[in-house]
Chain A
Amino acid sequence: MIEFERVSRRFGDQDALRNLNLTLERGEMAFLTGHSGAGKSTLLRLLLLLDRPSSGDIRVNGESTSNIRARKVPRYRRRFGVVFQDHRLLFDRSVHDNVALPLVMAGFSPTDTARRVRAALDKVGLLSHERANPAVLSGGEQQRVGIARAVVARPEFLIADEPTGNLDPKLSTEIMALFEAFNQVGVTVLVATHDLPLISRLRHRIIALQDGRLAGANTR
């Protein structure tokens, strides 16, 4: 469960988030929308402790994040799988090694790592490209590799920042279906996107941000 309690973030004299209250239940899947500058990125950055709130508290499973020290931040971040718009794969290594990165960091054994990487790649339908360099894959395939990397260590939370921003509608639908599949096995999913036509067809909560506050429509 993720709770934002009266969270504000100021940059100079500008408020990126104002007094935001928000709860994401365990096992829930929600979309975070809003115009650019509405505070989506700030919200995600605060959640991943890439930034700290000016005031208010963010609690994860009831535990306040405000007193997580810098030394403990990496371990905290490993509870999240993160998918980026530009997928941020490393082109100096194979698809397998990209997906394996979170497992290597967490200290899994090589055999365990290989097994889990193959399972994750199988789920996103790219098992046959295990040895390929991600640079030769299409945009949609690269994003699926990014998703495999995000879920391979079986995180509690899956966070995606504009995961379909660069993809056509058909690929976008496929990617969202993947997120739903992970949500169905219990992962809490939060997807920031402004692809309103797509998410309006999916039956999940839509959290709309406007000028750093929750906008009126907060439908389930």
Chain B
Amino acid sequence: MSAAPEQVREEWGRFAAWRSQHRAAAASSWQKLVSRLVATVMVWLVVAISLALPSVLLLTLDNLRPLVPDLARPAQVSVMLGGQLDFAQAEALRRKIQDWTSVEDVTLIGRDEALTTFGEQTGLSQLLTSLDRNPLPHTLSVLPSMPRADEALSRLIEDLNALPEVERVMADNQWMARLNQILVAGERWGLALGGAMVLGAILALANTLYLAIAARREEILVVRLIGGSPAFIRRPFLYTGLYFGAGGGLLAGAMLWILTLWVAGPANALFLLYDSPGQLHGPGWRYPLVLIALGAALGLLASWMASVRYFSRLEAH
């Protein structure tokens, strides 16, 4: 009994021992994965698809968002007044509406002013002067105090419509608010789908890892019997989970890139057709990086779950 293990470990250094054990576990786990490459690639594909699908959805939303023109700009409501109203009556109405709490500001655009502007903008001034009377009504441009709240906007439009002086109410950029809501809904849908897919990936991984652990039952029993700590026994499986997850994340990132390159041609043409200066945004480096990190975390979590489950059953025997 010249040297007890503890002493030797002290000499060599705990950290070095720990690092060496990690290196050995990392290497042996990797070799086991590579030696069963087909099975490994299949696991990577399962993880990659689970991660890539929601990512594609989120990436698509990222691309659609700039197409919603300036949502910060409030949704304006144009109120056409009855033709019989004169300017003074219109101004009185403007002041009345101005006092509503649901209204931020009201501008009166007189029919004459409107005709001049219309003429200038369309280059039809000559033609318009030949008209015997101005066909345009007085218009109030109403700026709602809560332009983003769809419900408040609808109520305001209703209230405006109820006024006897009002001929017609046009909320021309209400569709933007709607599109925005669709995007928000889409994002949530993407996150929910993503959550479900990620959960599926964790369960699939945990099951695969459970089988991988069960396949090494004999080794686990022997190591446990001769004094291997749970951490020592668990370590190779944590590495296996890490490789499964991170590899799947990397593959998902590659899938996003390939998809982007494939779709870029027609998508950019579409942008051009809609006179948008936009270009299709690829996943960049951020998406793959997040996917790899997410995959790695999932893999670790899954192998942790699998090993805890397996070892608790083992102890029960």
Q: Which residues of A contact B (CB under 8 A)?
A: 48, 50, 74-78, 80-82, 88, 90, 92, 101-110, 112, 149-150, 153-154, 156, 186-187
Contact = CB atoms under 8 A, between A and B. Distances in A.
Main secondary structure of the interface of B (DSSP, over half): helix
29 contacts: A48-B225, A74-B232, A75-B229, A88-B221, A90-B218, A90-B219, A92-B219, A102-B226, A103-B5, A104-B20, A104-B21, A104-B24, A105-B223, A105-B226, A105-B228, A105-B229, A106-B8, A106-B9, A107-B12, A107-B18, A108-B8, A108-B12, A108-B17, A109-B12, A149-B226, A150-B226, A154-B2, A154-B3, A154-B5
A88 B225 CA distance: 11
B16 A109 contact: yes
A156 B229 contact: no
B1 interface: yes
B88 interface: no
B12 A112 contact: yes
Max chain A C-beta neighbours (<10 A), residue from B8, B14, B17: B8
A85 to B, nearest CB: 13
Closest 3 CB pairs of A and B: A107-B17, A77-B227, A78-B227
Most buried by A among B221, B224, B227: B227
Given A102-B226, A156-B1, 19 more contacts: A50-B225, A74-B228, A74-B232, A81-B226, A82-B226, A101-B222, A101-B228, A102-B227, A105-B226, A105-B227, A105-B232, A106-B5, A107-B9, A107-B21, A108-B8, A108-B12, A109-B20, A112-B12, A154-B5
B225 A82 contact: yes
Nearest to B12: A109
B146 to A, nearest CB: 60
Nearest to A108: B8
Nearest to B230: A74
Contact of B218 (A88, A105, A154): A88
Contacts of B222: 88, 90, 101
Interface string B1-44: 11111001100101011101100100000000000000000000
- Interface of A, secondary structure class, is mixed
B9 A101 contact: no
A106 B227 CA distance: 9
Nearest to A110: B20
Nearest to B23: A110
Interface string B192-234: 0000000000000000000000000011011111111110100
Contacts of A88: 218, 221-222, 225
A78 B21 CA distance: 17
B218 A108 contact: no
Interface in B261-314: none
Nearest to A156: B1
Interface in B221-266: 221-230, 232
Contacts of B232: 74, 105
Nearest to B225: A82
A149 to B, nearest CB: 7
A107 B14 contact: yes
Contacts of B24: 104
A94 to B, nearest CB: 12
Contacts of A109: 12, 16-17, 20
Point out which of B1, B2, B5, B16 has the most chain A C-beta atoms below 10 A from its C-beta.
B5
A199 to B, nearest CB: 24
Contacts of B21: 104, 107
A156 B5 CA distance: 11
A75 B2 CA distance: 18
Contacts of A78: 5, 226-227
B55 to A, nearest CB: 37
Contacts of B20: 104, 107, 109-110
Which of A102, A107, A156 has the most chain B CB atoms inside 10 A of its CB?
Answer: A107
